[in-house]
């Protein structure tokens, strides 16, 4: 292992608060009595239901699918009876069609769920189809359909796979625990993806605050040609796709471009391990590791939760609320979504559930920008957040565009660091949305 | 419980650094120099500083009320301005002099433009310039010599300007502050100490002080030679200006590159004023001038956006 640490320019160092759960082994969540499984848990076309009210289903059975290319199927996480198909809120704040299944408590596995055999014996196409049929979408939170990421156009040759084990969001330890407890699944997933992409180089980037994970993954990949661990500096947002590419390979993804333009594909380590699990057991993505933490949670834990379980049930298993929460977050504190209810379902992208006390939820009142320049230094894209934010507030979106508001990755570093507590990312996001909407119109 | 959850946009955490905390750091950094001034010049320096601070805070409060804005005195920036302004006044001055300066600095220079962050020039320096033009005898005629206690002693820089270099105090005295001068610009060593504290705390960056002082040093060496160069560095308000005034956030460039341009410019102007201008001192006017250019620097010296033309691709 080289002692060199990889990193990028910019970024912030929020308190990681990971000690709450980093040494807590993954625990199976209590079996849910009812699951509410959204038919859209990914970016792209929502699925159509394949089952009707009254049907019985089994664990791993496909219950939703779309004909669109930009979509992934969803599967049942329990065995039981379909009770309803109706609209529910999902953690990103939208309302989507969901299949409500009452569990019979038996967890009978669907017949077609079978190990997929050796990766060496499978073709590229077979691997991609298994990944798609497994319901894979990016589990770091972005939920981009995995098979699409792994099928770049012919004119964009990929030469390196980057596995993101940075887990730079504070509080979250799900990926950390996966690396510690399931290194063989990570390796299996890596091999599958490398074969699908036809690449012979893979770096697994891990922040150096997880020395145990670095060691275990290093051991797991020992002797595997082309697979290497890349220790990363501890910095947020080290796990952002373009930052991790820049840190490890030195390549710069052009503004508005995708990683494939510089020959890279980045997959989150949780996604990779789940892919490994699909090949090993045949079980599609119906369960995921979720970090449940925050100042208002009684016993913070890492839980292996069935998709469709309600946040409320998950928090109850962690001893419930320690005090009345002021904020409930789906994902990490830097980029996660605040929820207005705990009656939403865990979905494929739910990396964490955080409950903050009223005190922790209070972010203070914004005051004048004092031009301290901290937001510029924090911005991993090297934007001028204070300026773009000002233009956005003035609704001068042309000026915001001129200063590359659309390149903002919404990491929140600027808002985090601002001593005047200005809502920088929040206002820049507004400008970004507006600018992208206009561009679409022009096209 | 549902309705009580805050559903605001991410990020959901904030660093614990606040504007108030930053200003408090600046105040702490100035305290040693203040104590030294009492030691060298007597109790009147405290009277002047207190009068200056109180009037600055009251003026800010009244302006907030008149302009129907939320009261901003809690951020402590008015306190900083008050202290800095008093630091630029001779210790023998009457109490009303800093009061005039503070009212001008806060009302005209800071609040009319929109309060903290919106002022074009450094309020304390503008206040000083205002006092210089209105009551120049009080501003330049009453320096106390800490050794003899005589009033109206000439500062080391006036001596240099007048060509009486034979009467200059020792460099050691200059470092300690055992020389005639304004309240805050005497003890170079304590000002540097305060400045280092601010750099250590991350309140200010090292770039402006280092490039500013460095430029003055190099130019003084070229023009006046080695022994005089030290007087240029430790005499007058260079250290105070470089660490505490040129680093003012709102009136100095926001990028590192911009800060370098600004600091080198201020250093060159300082020597220019001292060598060929009408004043023995050049720090405050050079900073004021660079303050005015800062928006321009901020406009043209900007960071290279990641992935936008110009960024190297090392593939
Ligand atoms: S401007 Fe965007 S990319 Fe830059 S720090 Fe703020 S949120 Fe992150
Ligand atoms: S961090 Fe906040 S106060 Fe500082 S320049 Fe940016 S917006 Fe202004």
Per-residue model confidence as pLDDT tens digits over B187-202: 888 999 999 999 999 9
Q: With CB atoms and an 8 Å threshold, state whether B303 touches A421.
A: no
**pLDDT confidence of B150, banded at 50, 70, 90?**
low
Q: Which residue of A has its CA nearest to B71?
A: A367
CA dist., res. B53 & res. B27, Å (int): 11
Q: Whose CA is nearest to atom 4 of ligand 1?
A: A379
Residue A388 CB–ligand 2 contact under 6 Å: no
Q: Which residue of B has its CA nearest to A324?
A: B1
Q: Which residue of B has its CA nearest to A261?
A: B315
- Burial class (CB within 10 angstroms; exposed 0-12, middle 13-18, buried 19+) of A118: exposed
Q: Where is pLDDT greater, at B235 or B102?
A: B102
**pLDDT confidence of B142, banded at 50, 70, 90?**
low
Range of lowest pLDDT (A144-148, B46-50, B262-266, B279-283): B279-283
Q: Average pLDDT, stretch B257-281?
A: 89
Do the Cβ atoms of A298 and A320 come closer than 8 Å? Answer: yes
CA dist., res. A133 & res. A51, Å (int): 17
What per-residue confidence (pLDDT) applies to A145? 93
What per-residue confidence (pLDDT) applies to A399? 94
B74 interfaces chain A, CB cutoff of 8 Å: no
Smallest Cα distance from A342 to chain B, Å = 8
Task: Please say if the pLDDT value at position B163 is more than 90.
Answer: no
Q: What is the mean pLDDT of chain B?
A: 86
Ligand 1: atom nearest CA of A378 is 5
CB-CB neighbors (< 8 A) of A336 in chain B: 10, 12
B295 interfaces chain A, CB cutoff of 8 Å: no
B303 interfaces chain A, CB cutoff of 8 Å: yes
CB-CB neighbors (< 8 A) of A293 in chain B: none
CA dist., res. B259 & res. B251, Å (int): 11
What per-residue confidence (pLDDT) applies to B183? 83
**pLDDT confidence of B312, banded at 50, 70, 90?**
very low
In angstroms, what is the span from residue A70 Cα to ligand 1's centroid? 28
B165 interfaces chain A, CB cutoff of 8 Å: no
Q: Which residues of A303-316 are buried (b: 16+ CB within 10 A; e: fewer)?
A: bbbbbbbbbebbbe
Beta-bridged to residue A264, according to DSSP, are A160
Smallest Cα distance from A240 to chain B, Å = 13
What ipTM did this prediction achieve? 0.89
Q: Which residue of B has its CA nearest to A159?
A: B315
Q: Average pLDDT, stretch B112-128?
A: 91
Cα B230 off chain centre by: 20
What per-residue confidence (pLDDT) applies to B1? 47
The CB density around residue A127, as the number of other CB atoms within 10 Å, is 23
Residues with CB under 6 A from ligand 1: A 378-381, 383, 385, 408-414, 424-425, 428
Smallest Cα distance from B84 to chain A, Å = 18
What per-residue confidence (pLDDT) applies to B274? 85
pTM of this structure = 0.91
Low pLDDT (below 50) residues in chain A: 1-2
Tokens 């109850």 identify what position? Answer: A316
CA dist., res. A56 & res. A304, Å (int): 24
What per-residue confidence (pLDDT) applies to B4? 77
Beta-bridged to residue A207, according to DSSP, are A232
Among B52, B127, B13, B163, which residue's Cα sits nearest to residue A331? B13
What per-residue confidence (pLDDT) applies to B3? 58
Among A411, A173, A177, A209, which residue's Cα sits nearest to residue A292? A173
Q: Which residue of B has its CA nearest to A325?
A: B5
Ligand nearest the Cα of residue A388 is: 1
Q: Whose CA is nearest to atom 3 of ligand 2?
A: A369
**pLDDT confidence of B311, banded at 50, 70, 90?**
very low
Beta-bridged to residue A204, according to DSSP, are A163, A229
Omega within 30 of 0 (cis) for the link into A237 = yes
A416 vs B14, B114, B249: nearest CB: B14
Q: Where is pLDDT greater, at A99 or B278?
A: A99
Task: Please say if the pLDDT value at position B2 is more than 50.
Answer: no
CB-CB neighbors (< 8 A) of A324 in chain B: 1, 4
A426 vs B3, B9, B14: nearest CB: B9
Smallest Cα distance from B250 to chain A, Å = 5
B7 interfaces chain A, CB cutoff of 8 Å: yes
CB-CB neighbors (< 8 A) of B121 in chain A: none
Question: DSSP secondary-structure letter at A321?
Answer: B
Please tell me the total number of residues recorded for chain A in this structure. Answer: 443
Do the Cβ atoms of A101 and A52 come closer than 8 Å? Answer: no
CB-CB neighbors (< 8 A) of A255 in chain B: 305-308
What phi and psi values does residue A211 have, to the nearest 5 degrees? -60, -35
In angstroms, what is the span from residue A33 Cα to ligand 1's centroid? 41
**pLDDT confidence of B165, banded at 50, 70, 90?**
low
**pLDDT confidence of B164, banded at 50, 70, 90?**
low
Do the Cβ atoms of A288 and A346 come closer than 8 Å? Answer: yes
Q: Average pLDDT, stretch B31-46?
A: 87
SS3 A330: strand
**A375-389, B153-167, B279-293 — which one is most confidently predicted on average?**
A375-389
Q: Average pLDDT, stretch B208-234?
A: 87
Q: Whose CA is nearest to atom 2 of ligand 1?
A: A408
Task: Please say if the pLDDT value at position B313 is more than 50.
Answer: no
In angstroms, what is the span from residue B117 Cα to ligand 2's centroid? 9
Smallest Cα distance from B107 to chain A, Å = 17
Residue A421 CB–ligand 2 contact under 6 Å: no
Size of interface A-B (CB pairs under 8 A): 171
Ligand nearest the Cα of residue A387 is: 2
In angstroms, what is the span from residue A429 Cα to ligand 1's centroid? 9
């Amino acid at each position: 292992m080289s002692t060199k640490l990889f990193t990028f320019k910019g970024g912030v160092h929020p308190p990681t608060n990971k000690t709450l759960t980093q040494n807590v082994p993954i625990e199976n969540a209590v079996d849910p009595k009812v699951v509410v499984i959204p038919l859209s848990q990914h970016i792209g076309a929502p699925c159509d239901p394949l089952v009707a009210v009254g049907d019985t289903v089994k664990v791993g059975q496909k219950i939703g699918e779309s004909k669109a290319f930009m979509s992934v199927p969803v599967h049942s996480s329990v065995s039981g009876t379909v009770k309803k198909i109706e609209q529910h809120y999902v953690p990103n704040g939208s309302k989507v069609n969901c299949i409500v299944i009452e569990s019979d408590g038996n967890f009978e596995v669907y017949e077609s769920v079978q190990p997929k055999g050796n990766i060496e014996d499978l073709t590229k196409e077979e691997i991609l189809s298994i990944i798609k049929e497994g319901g894979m979408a990016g589990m770091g939170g972005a939920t981009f359909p995995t098979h699409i990421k792994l099928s770049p156009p012919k004119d964009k040759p990929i030469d390196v796979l980057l596995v993101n084990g940075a887990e730079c969001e504070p509080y979250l330890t799900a990926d950390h625990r996966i690396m510690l407890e399931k290194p063989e699944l990570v390796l299996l997933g890596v091999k599958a993806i490398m074969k699908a992409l036809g690449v012979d180089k893979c770096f697994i980037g891990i922040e150096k605050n997880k020395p145990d994970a670095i060691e275990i993954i290093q051991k797991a990949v020992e002797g595997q040609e082309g697979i290497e661990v890349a220790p990363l500096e501890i910095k947020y947002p080290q796990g952002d796709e373009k930052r991790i590419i820049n840190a490890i390979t030195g390549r710069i993804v052009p503004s508005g471009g995708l990683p494939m333009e510089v020959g890279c594909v980045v997959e989150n380590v949780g996604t990779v391990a789940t892919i490994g699990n699909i090949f090993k057991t045949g079980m599609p993505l119906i369960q995921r590791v979720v970090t449940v933490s925050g100042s208002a949670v009684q016993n913070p834990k890492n839980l292996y939760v069935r998709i469709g379980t309600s946040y409320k049930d998950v928090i109850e298993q962690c001893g419930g609320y320690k005090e009345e929460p002021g904020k409930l977050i789906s994902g990490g504190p830097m980029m996660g979504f605040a929820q207005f209810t705990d009656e939403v379902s865990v979905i494929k992208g739910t990396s964490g559930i955080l409950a903050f006390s009223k005190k922790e939820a209070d972010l203070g009142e914004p005051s004048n920008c004092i031009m301290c320049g901290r937001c510029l230094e924090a911005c991993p894209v090297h934007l001028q957040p204070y300026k773009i934010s000002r233009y956005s507030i003035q609704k001068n979106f042309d000026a915001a565009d001129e200063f590359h508001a659309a390149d903002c990755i919404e990491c929140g570093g600027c808002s985090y660091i601002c001593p005047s507590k200005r809502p920088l990312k929040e206002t820049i996001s507004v400008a970004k949305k507006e600018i992208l909407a206009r561009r679409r119109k022009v096209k | 419980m549902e309705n009580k959850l805050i559903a605001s946009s991410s990020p959901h955490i904030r660093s614990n650094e606040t504007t108030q905390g930053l200003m408090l750091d600046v105040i702490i950094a100035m305290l040693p120099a203040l104590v030294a001034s009492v030691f060298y010049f007597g109790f009147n320096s405290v009277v002047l500083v207190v009068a200056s601070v109180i009037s600055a805070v009251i003026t800010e409060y009244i302006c907030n009320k008149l302009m129907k804005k939320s009261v901003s005195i809690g951020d402590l920036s008015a306190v900083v301005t008050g202290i800095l302004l008093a630091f630029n006044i001779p210790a023998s001055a009457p109490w009303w002099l800093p009061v005039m300066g503070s009212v001008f600095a806060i009302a005209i220079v800071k609040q009319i433009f929109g309060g903290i962050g919106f002022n074009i020039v450094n309020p304390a320096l503008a206040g000083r310039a205002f006092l210089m033009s209105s009551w120049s005898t009080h501003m330049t005629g009453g320096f106390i010599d800490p050794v003899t206690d005589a009033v109206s002693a000439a500062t080391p820089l006036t001596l240099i300007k007048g060509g009486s270099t034979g009467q200059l105090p020792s460099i050691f005295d200059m470092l300690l502050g055992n020389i005639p001068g304004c309240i805050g610009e005497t003890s170079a060593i304590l000002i540097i100490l305060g400045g280092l504290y601010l750099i250590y705390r991350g309140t200010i960056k090292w770039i402006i002080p280092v490039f500013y002082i460095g430029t003055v040093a190099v130019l003084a060496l070229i023009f006046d030679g080695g022994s005089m160069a030290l007087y240029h560095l430790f005499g007058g308000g260079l250290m105070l200006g470089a660490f505490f005034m040129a680093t003012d956030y709102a009136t100095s460039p926001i990028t590192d590159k911009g800060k370098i341009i600004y600091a080198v410019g201020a250093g060159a102007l300082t020597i220019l004023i001292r060598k060929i201008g009408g004043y023995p001192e050049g720090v405050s006017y050079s900073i004021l001038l660079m303050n005015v250019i800062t928006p321009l620097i901020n406009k043209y010296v900007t960071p290279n956006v990641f992935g936008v033309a110009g960024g190297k691709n090392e593939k």
